Amino acid sequence: MYHDQFTYIDCPDEVGANIRALQGEFDDFLRNLEGNHPFRQYHEVIENGQVTFRGYVNVFGAEQFIDWMNVVKFKREVAKVIPKPVEPAADTIYF
């Protein structure tokens, strides 16, 4: 069974107007992460009794994007998760 799951983000207009560019910056940030980090998890893949992969992988979604905007990018709270609004969302981004 498949369920659509959306995270609705409230942010000031000046942040929302640039949400796609900010998502690109977040992608760049993730590409440059190394080692242990809150947005990464250590994984091992074992196939036929042999370790075929061992290392950290990025694990992220809307909540991590919000954390990045608040802590890294703007260094203040500019975004937060809200319940589904009555009005349609101004924009949609995907992770």
pLDDT of residue 17: 94
**Which residues have CB under 8 Å from 23's CB, separation 6+?**
65, 93
Q: Residue 2's pLDDT is what? A: 55
Q: Do 33 and 40 touch, CB atoms closer than 8 A?
A: yes
- Reading the chain (95 residues) residue by residue, the pLDDT tens digits are 555 688 999 999 999 999 999 999 999 999 999 989 999 999 999 999 999 999 999 999 999 999 999 999 999 999 999 999 999 888 999 98
Predicted pLDDT at 3: 58
61 closest CA partner among 12, 7, 16: 7
